[in-house]
A and B are shown apart, each in its own frame.
Chain A
Amino acid sequence: MKDEPVDFALIGHQESWRATADVFALLRGPEYPPVPDEEIMSIVPWIPPRAVCHVQTHSRLGRKANGLYIDSFIPPDRLDPAFLQENLKRVRGAAAYAIKAGARIVSLGGFSSILIEGNFDMIPDRGATVFTTGNSLTVAFIVSGIRKMCAQEGRDLRHATVLIVGATGDVGSGCARCLAPLAGRMILCARNMERLRRLQEELEMQGVPVDVAASILELPARADVVVCAASLPSPSLLLGQLAPEAVICDAGYPKNLAPLANRNGWKVFYGGLGQVTSGMTFAPAVGGVLNRHPFRDVVHGCLLEGMTLAWERRFEPFSEGRGFITPQRVEEMEKMADRHGICLAPLYNSDGPIEIRHDCEPEGIGQWV
């Protein structure tokens, strides 16, 4: 696996110090004395971006692709704007590592794509390597999850008020475009009012009533269905604005909404996740600690997009960022992933797996276009 050409690279970072410490401990091995967490927290921020493991994947069609998981080692507690330049440097370093490794396509996971904001020119000397934000597949899994959860809860999206928090971002605007044709009413929430107005106009042209709000404290109505496309600084503020038993998709990274919401009766699930049904192999065997979900081979959609494109031998910047995700592209990507055996991951939240009735399993894909 190590000496084979690198078809794809996945750039990511750990969402918590617990996850970081687990990866560190696994790499260190059981034969060495454990390292206290505070020592790990003092060492990890100094580690330059680099590969953590090789990943070998097999598609349902029998295609093989070799990849690398590259960690930018962004410390989990340094995601706020004060560390923007430092984190950008790390993402660029991770991208340079992928390019040097000869990766043909690179997916930008977690915060990486937000930092680059679709401006791949920030990554110099890309050579033959192409980059995708991976957000088309993330949007596909968020929307599929919403449909599945609404079916489970007996909600009719056509009569629902759907709120998108972080609506002007790449993932948020993609979700808004995919959900608007299905929803009764849309509420878009984001700080940039100019971009919100543009998206509002675009969606209203399709005949959907759309309201906008620059703050979650200014929402014009109570939402029944919510997509949190970004981590929330104050989850409790949002929860106070929602209808009782609202369906909520927590799609931020890191996720910080679910533990609070689960205690209060809302129907929360973690969104944007897919499952590789034909399996993955990691060397060294870090798969068990990188996958922190209660099901095997579950990965964020953004990372799975690069894997899918590698199987398809379509080395192209499928998702370029900057809010250009359309329902057509989302459908195309979801069908492509499905063909190779990547499907919506079983739904779960911080309390564990969510039991879904059989009649609520996906009826097919791409039905929102």
Chain B
Amino acid sequence: MEAASRMNDATAVVARTTPLEASIWQDVLAQAITGELIASMNYESLAEICTDAEEKADALEHAASERGHAAAFANEGRGLGVVPQDNVEGQYWKRLRAAFLRCIAERDFVGCLIIQEVMLESFAVASYARIGKVGPGSLGKTFAAIAAEEEEHIDHAMSTLRADRALDAQSFDEKVHRLHLDVMTTLAEMLAREDKNGHCEVCHGNCMKASLPGVGLTTSELRGASLQQYLTTLDMLGLPGEMTLEWVTRLPV
């Protein structure tokens, strides 16, 4: 009965979605799937440097959960009759993965958490929540549900990060700034109105950003919501607001 209802819902969504809209959703899903795969790879790498058995188990559990998210997004693509192509070698995602691997190489557990939980998850939670509001049928529901799950990840990491900052706030803040210059610069370039570095290598045709209004989204909205979530998360960690404000004003646009 439930399965039949879901199928009817999906059929109705496909019927309501124009080919142009489906093409835009295909790229949105491709970015989301790639992001989830990167997150899964990051957690697997993190597990390798965990010295605590419980932390290691947590990291592997998160890796599996992110793979599950990627599969759920792929499934939504099938529901729309499109096949989103992920590409973890796409220029921006590759840079984000490389930044994470630098922390892994330094066995910097806290640095890894800052990149994944504060920066990348802020981007994911905020973007997914916005997409969840405008996505048709089960696609919107899936994005909204995954946004909520990702938010729980952030909450989980916050206590570890707060405890580390309590030991030496200045060193902690300097580390966040160093990683901000690397990771948030990449995310800001990725969310900029134009791809100044060329094609992102994830979208299946031309850059989807200009087409986003066709499905009720804009790049400036996704960028704004992501920055808001990021600043709020940094506030929760206790970083001075006037300092993080300066950081954000200096990001590329």
Contact = CB atoms under 8 A, between A and B. Distances in A.
Contacts of A52: 242, 245
A68 B240 CA distance: 12
Contacts of A68: 242
Residue with the greatest number of chain B CB neighbours at <10 A, chosen from A39, A50, A51, A284:
A50
Interface in A8-29: 24, 27-29
A240 B197 CA distance: 57
B242 A46 contact: no
Nearest to B227: A46
A2 interface: yes
Interface string B207-242: 000000000000010011101100110010000111
Given A27-B245, A35-B253, A47 B228 contact: yes
Contacts, number: 60
A258 interface: no
A43 interface: yes
A2 B173 CA distance: 15
B224 A97 contact: no
Contacts of A54: 242
B241 A46 contact: no
B245 A50 contact: yes
B240 A48 contact: no
B246 A2 contact: no
A42 interface: yes
Residue with the greatest number of chain B CB neighbours at <10 A, chosen from A29, A43, A46, A97:
A46
Please report whether the interface of chain B is mostly helix, strand, loop or mixed according to DSSP.
Answer: helix
Contacts of B249: 24, 27-28, 35
A46 B253 contact: no
Contacts of A29: 250
A48 B228 contact: yes
Contact of A50 (B227, B241, B250, B253): B241
A350 B253 CA distance: 34
Interface residues of A, number: 23
Given A48-B232, A48-B235, A2 B240 contact: yes
Contacts of A28: 246, 249-250
A43 B253 contact: yes
B244 interface: yes
A177 B250 CA distance: 48
Given A2-B240, A42-B220, A42-B224, A47 B250 contact: no
Contact of B242 (A32, A36, A53): A53
B248 interface: yes
Interface in A261-314: 284
21 contacts: A2-B240, A27-B246, A27-B250, A32-B250, A36-B253, A39-B193, A42-B220, A42-B223, A43-B253, A45-B224, A46-B227, A46-B228, A47-B227, A47-B245, A50-B241, A51-B240, A51-B245, A68-B242, A97-B235, A97-B241, A284-B242
Interface of B: 193, 220, 223-225, 227-228, 231-232, 235, 240-242, 244-246, 248-250, 253
CB-CB nearest 3 A-B residue pairs: A50-B241, A46-B224, A42-B220
